[in-house]
Amino acid sequence: MGTAVDSVNKEANGSLSDEKKVKVVFVLGGPGSGKGTQCANIVEHFGFTHLSAGDLLRAEIKSGSENGTMIQNMIKEGKIVPSEVTIKLLQRAMQDSGNNKFLIDGFPRNEENRAAFENVTKISPEFVLFFDCPEEEMERRLLNRNQGREDDNIDTIRKRFKVFVESSIPVVEYYESKGKVKKIDAGKPREEVFEVVKSIFSAIDKAD
């Protein structure tokens, strides 16, 4: 019986970097920082394809594929899904999209993800869009939102903040050392935040 990595490998062969120039922007920010809202705006205004690593894993599980069952079992057992599995799902979604501009949301979650992504895809991100938001504001937003998500209680929220700081901030710092981080003050109202986001993406369009 093959591993989860093997079964995704069968479906995602070929390197995207061999084709037309692929642009990848990593989108990072704590829970409640407004990433999802702003990604939707960027897709609408700038023609990027929005890929969420978490959504792709959930979709794979829902599909009932052999690979999805393996992912589900790993999560149930409290194991971390290997970076390569998530990366192959991202690669497949990128190839299927027909686009060459991607927002990758909530990934890389840690340094190991980051190194594996660059190693497997041979793609280095254009930059990291980092939604920097005070914890008190993120907490307020998560407690106020009415999606009825069971993970939106105060203890779980604070655990998620802690994981984000410990795992994802080193990724931000790595790219900051390369001059590749665009930091956004995400504590402001969403319209103001998008004005800043828009100026960043308009500058890329002009550079092309």
**Is 31 annotated as contributing to ligand binding?**
no
**Is 188 annotated as contributing to ligand binding?**
yes
**Is 198 annotated as contributing to ligand binding?**
no
**Is 33 annotated as contributing to ligand binding?**
yes
Cα-based distances in Å from 196 to 25, 84, 103, 120, 141 = 16, 33, 17, 32, 20
Q: What CA–CA distance (Å, rounded) separates 122 from 77?
A: 31
Is there a contact between 142 and 158 (Cβ–Cβ < 8 Å)? no
3-state secondary structure of 20: coil
**Is 92 annotated as contributing to ligand binding?**
no
**Is 79 annotated as contributing to ligand binding?**
yes
**Is 106 annotated as contributing to ligand binding?**
yes
- 67-92 b/e with 16+ CB inside 10 Å = b? bbebbbebeeeeeebbbbbbbbbbbb
Instruction: Name residue, tokens 């939707």.
Output: 40
**Is 36 annotated as contributing to ligand binding?**
yes
**Is 158 annotated as contributing to ligand binding?**
no
**Is 145 annotated as contributing to ligand binding?**
yes
Cα-based distances in Å from 112 to 80, 84, 118 = 12, 10, 10
Helix (H) or strand (E) holding 140: helix 135-144
User: Residue 197 has which token pair?
Assistant: 């986001």
**Is 140 annotated as contributing to ligand binding?**
no
Question: Strand 127-132 to strand 101-105: parallel, antiparallel, or no bridges (unpaired)?
Answer: unpaired
**Is 37 annotated as contributing to ligand binding?**
yes
Is there a contact between 27 and 106 (Cβ–Cβ < 8 Å)? yes
**Is 98 annotated as contributing to ligand binding?**
no
Please state the residue numbers annotated as binding site.
Answer: 32-37, 58, 79-81, 106-109, 113, 145, 149, 160, 188
Please state the residue numbers annotated as binding site for ATP.
Answer: 32-37, 145, 188
Please state the residue numbers annotated as binding site for a ribonucleoside 5'-phosphate.
Answer: 58, 79-81, 106-109, 149, 160
Please state the residue numbers annotated as binding site for CMP.
Answer: 113
